[in-house]
Chains A and B, each alone.
Chain A
């Protein structure tokens, strides 16, 4: 306390210089925080774009064979059947939830309102694979009973409810899909990002009504235990082998089967963002170092200017350690107070940007909900780290000038100028 008062008295003597010195540190920390915030905003934005499916999901589509295989000609149109779903779960251990997807464009009608939407026949597992969302009072997704009974029930996207039902609730109402009546049992609020909104019906019902030949061309699944890019690549190859055997096409055929492994993409993207975060930290820290060098420089000038004062203090009985400590403490005080100022300003700016973004998001008519920048924030870990950096910076910046102050000889310092 005693020491602090003494330091404050010294610092306030040189207000302008103290402030100018401190601002370089504020600026450094400000830049560091803003960059980190921007980095996390970018990263969150892209992460958000992944959330229309589970990050550990894999989807495949059948294509046309482009290579001959065991006497079979090229350009065969390949399609999945229930056998392929069974093969996936019997030959591979990683998949834990699978669903076939029967897809069809169809007119959906409610009273006089109608629209053309994608109708998908799916299993209950679809909900988890594609992260469908059911808010309270929005009903439920298709379940096993619906499958067993070939129920004529439908789950529609929020968007369809808005168009067909206006302000009313669609729950329990009957809609016409094509020419068949379905009862709406759930509203999905997860927005569809590609193509038109969806109307989901039980897989078995879809087979029965729309798919007499029982063929379909997409299977989606979630997989477990694939933590690395390499593991995902290996899995992709295994999956392709299983399918090649099951559908009888050449494994090297690039056009017979299309795979989208979300986890692999996710890992790759996150790697890029780890890189960006690292880069941003380096830039921020270098800026901060410039600030520290500034503080050190100014402290050196200050010690030089205060030679006489320090000499007097020593003559009066200041111990070398006391002088050293007071200069270093002065430096720490400057860096941490102004550093915190910069930190507060940086966090403030980020929060402001966040606020503005949210405001736009709330008003915005953006149907597809795509974003590259979202929820910028600086984690407490970074804040703690920054604090530590500031204190270390203060010590580093103050130590050299302090050593110089300690070496000042009272007689020389007090000699008449």
Chain B
């Protein structure tokens, strides 16, 4: 599903440059359940951004579902993101003036699906998350765990090939963390390739493969 070959990425500022990724080689198969661990500054977030086509890389090759992702126009990246990738973020990133249902339905808006239809689909997904009664609530009326479940519903509504989660439990307590991780586990079982960036051992332990990153290189891959 995902193949990275010698990926390099350097951030330039006016005075200095920062070589963040120093040659990442990685293969993630379809349906894999993977976590990426590393200290802050190790490059794990950058790697996730590249995987999510939110950022570009300098050299190397990145194949997503057998498509080379390189030098894409913004428009093309947007289309690929919309079709192939679902994002879950630490800070949920819900739109605060839209209710749960509208938030979940948003990716379908960019697929030009009618309001009625996309809201109906969004309700289905919210139901799956056990949040049907919260559909018309605004994000600020919900708990962290609920918000994250809304975000997960939004991430999977367009049937992505890959689910990318950046510290999805970073803002949650241990009980909700467990609930959310259980949800990821269930989603993975439906066949969606799941990649979670985290620095929590407990979270990483839920996945089947842990990739340790240190100083821009893959230190080791822990198969479980």
- By a beta-carbon cutoff of 8 Å, the part of chain A in contact with chain B is 2, 5-6, 9-10, 13, 308-309, 312-322, 406, 409-411, 414, 416
Q: Would you call B98 an interface residue if the criterion is a C-beta within 8 Å of the partner chain's C-beta atoms?
A: yes
B161 CB to nearest chain A CB (Å)? 14
B93-A414 in contact (CB<8A)? yes
Given contacts A13-B97, A410-B54, A416-B91, contact A313 B112 (CB under 8 A): no
Q: How many A-B residue pairs have CB under 8 A?
A: 65
Given contacts A13-B97, A308-B93, A410-B54, contact A318 B112 (CB under 8 A): no
B:152-209 near A, CB below 8 Å: 154, 158
B78-A317 in contact (CB<8A)? yes
A319-B79 in contact (CB<8A)? yes
Segment at the interface with A among B21-29, B59-67, B103-111 = B103-111
Q: Would you call B125 an interface residue if the criterion is a C-beta within 8 Å of the partner chain's C-beta atoms?
A: no
B82-A316 in contact (CB<8A)? yes
Which residues of A sit under 8 angstroms from B81, Cβ to Cβ?
315-317
A320-B115 in contact (CB<8A)? no
- By a beta-carbon cutoff of 8 Å, the part of chain B in contact with chain A is 49, 52, 54-55, 74-75, 78-79, 81-83, 87, 89-91, 93-98, 102, 106-107, 109-112, 114-115, 154, 158
The 20 listed contacts between A and B (C-beta, < 8 Å) are A2-B112, A9-B97, A9-B98, A9-B102, A308-B93, A313-B95, A313-B110, A315-B93, A316-B110, A317-B79, A317-B107, A318-B110, A319-B75, A319-B110, A322-B110, A406-B74, A410-B54, A411-B49, A414-B93, A416-B91
Which residues of A sit under 8 angstroms from B111, Cβ to Cβ?
317
In the assembled complex, the Cα of A221 lies from the Cα of B121 at a distance in Å of 84
In the assembled complex, the Cα of A321 lies from the Cα of B77 at a distance in Å of 13
Which residues of B sit under 8 angstroms from A313, Cβ to Cβ?
95, 106, 110
- Residue of B at shortest CB range from A5? B115
B58 CB to nearest chain A CB (Å)? 16
Q: Which of B52, B75, B107, B115 contacts A2 (CB 8 A)?
A: B115
In the assembled complex, the Cα of A314 lies from the Cα of B91 at a distance in Å of 16
In the assembled complex, the Cα of A321 lies from the Cα of B81 at a distance in Å of 15
In the assembled complex, the Cα of A313 lies from the Cα of B106 at a distance in Å of 8
B92 CB to nearest chain A CB (Å)? 10
B114-A2 in contact (CB<8A)? yes
B90 CB to nearest chain A CB (Å)? 7
A317-B114 in contact (CB<8A)? no
B78-A411 in contact (CB<8A)? no
A17 CB to nearest chain B CB (Å)? 13
A312-B75 in contact (CB<8A)? no
In the assembled complex, the Cα of A414 lies from the Cα of B95 at a distance in Å of 11
B108 CB to nearest chain A CB (Å)? 9
In the assembled complex, the Cα of A409 lies from the Cα of B78 at a distance in Å of 12
A318 CB to nearest chain B CB (Å)? 5
B91-A414 in contact (CB<8A)? yes
In the assembled complex, the Cα of A313 lies from the Cα of B154 at a distance in Å of 12
Which residues of A sit under 8 angstroms from B158, Cβ to Cβ?
317
In the assembled complex, the Cα of A13 lies from the Cα of B96 at a distance in Å of 10
B42 CB to nearest chain A CB (Å)? 17
In the assembled complex, the Cα of A316 lies from the Cα of B109 at a distance in Å of 10
Given contacts A5-B115, A411-B54, A411-B55, contact A316 B91 (CB under 8 A): no
- Residue of B at shortest CB range from A318? B110
Q: Which of B82, B93, B102 contacts A312 (CB 8 A)?
A: B93
B95-A309 in contact (CB<8A)? yes
Which residues of B sit under 8 angstroms from A308, Cβ to Cβ?
93
- Residue of B at shortest CB range from A417? B91
Which residues of A sit under 8 angstroms from B82, Cβ to Cβ?
316-317
A196 CB to nearest chain B CB (Å)? 75
Given contacts A411-B55, A414-B93, A416-B91, contact A317 B110 (CB under 8 A): yes
Among all A-B residue pairs, the 8 with the closest Cβ atoms: A317-B82, A13-B97, A319-B78, A317-B110, A320-B74, A316-B107, A319-B75, A312-B93
- Residue of B at shortest CB range from A14? B97
- Residue of B at shortest CB range from A308? B93
Kindly name the residue among A314, A315, A409 whose own CB sees the greatest number of chain B CB atoms within 10 A. A315
A320-B78 in contact (CB<8A)? yes
In the assembled complex, the Cα of A236 lies from the Cα of B101 at a distance in Å of 82
- Residue of B at shortest CB range from A317? B82
Apart from the given pairs A312-B93, A406-B74, A414-B89, 19 other A-B contacts in the complex at a CB distance below 8 Å: A2-B115, A5-B115, A9-B98, A9-B102, A10-B97, A309-B96, A313-B95, A313-B110, A315-B81, A316-B81, A316-B87, A316-B107, A317-B79, A317-B107, A317-B110, A317-B158, A411-B49, A414-B91, A416-B91
